[in-house]
Amino acid sequence: DVKVTQSSRYLVKRTGEKVFLECVQDMDHENMFWYRQDPGLGLRLIYFSYDVKMKEKGDIPEGYSVSREKKERFSLILESASTNQTSMYLCASSLSREGETEAFFGQGTRLTVV
């Protein structure tokens, strides 16, 4: 079974703190994604990566950065956390091969910024 693991299920941080959300996948997937989920808005793509050290902006990258130093790990960084970044964060991974399009998700991190 593919496993995508996010380092924390719940996190509480203070405004202005630098926050790291970590995600690890164990199936050698090329692609990794960070989504933000808010009630009534669905899931919105923050950043994605299709290879080590490669990153692409998604739909809502402002206030976030990412790091992918190893294939299995994709980190989301909030440089200076703000209360409007309180949300559920979901990491996902997938293959790039034709026909292999399913994305596998982690269990989510509920981040509260106070």
Partner 1 sequence: AQTVTQSQPEMSVQEAETVTLSCTYDTSESDYYLFWYKQPPSRQMILVIRQEAYKQQNATENRFSVNFQKAAKSFSLKISDSQLGDAAMYFCAYRTAPLAGGGADGLTFGKGTHLIIQP
3-state secondary structure 35-103: EEEECCCEEEEEEEECCCCCCEECCCCCCEEEEEEECCEEEEEECCCCHHHCEEEEEEEECCCCCCCCC
21 vs 92 by CB, closer to partner 1: 92
Beta carbon of residue 9, minimum distance to partner 1 (angstroms, whole number): 8
The region, left, alpha or beta by phi > 0 then psi within -120 to 50, assigned to residue 72 is: alpha
Beta carbon of residue 26, minimum distance to partner 1 (angstroms, whole number): 16
3 vs 18 by CB, closer to partner 1: 3
What does the binding site for partner 1 look like in residue numbers (CB under 8 A)?
Answer: 30-31, 33, 35, 40-45, 48, 50-51, 58, 88, 90, 92, 94, 96-103, 105, 107-108
14 vs 40 by CB, closer to partner 1: 40
69 vs 98 by CB, closer to partner 1: 98
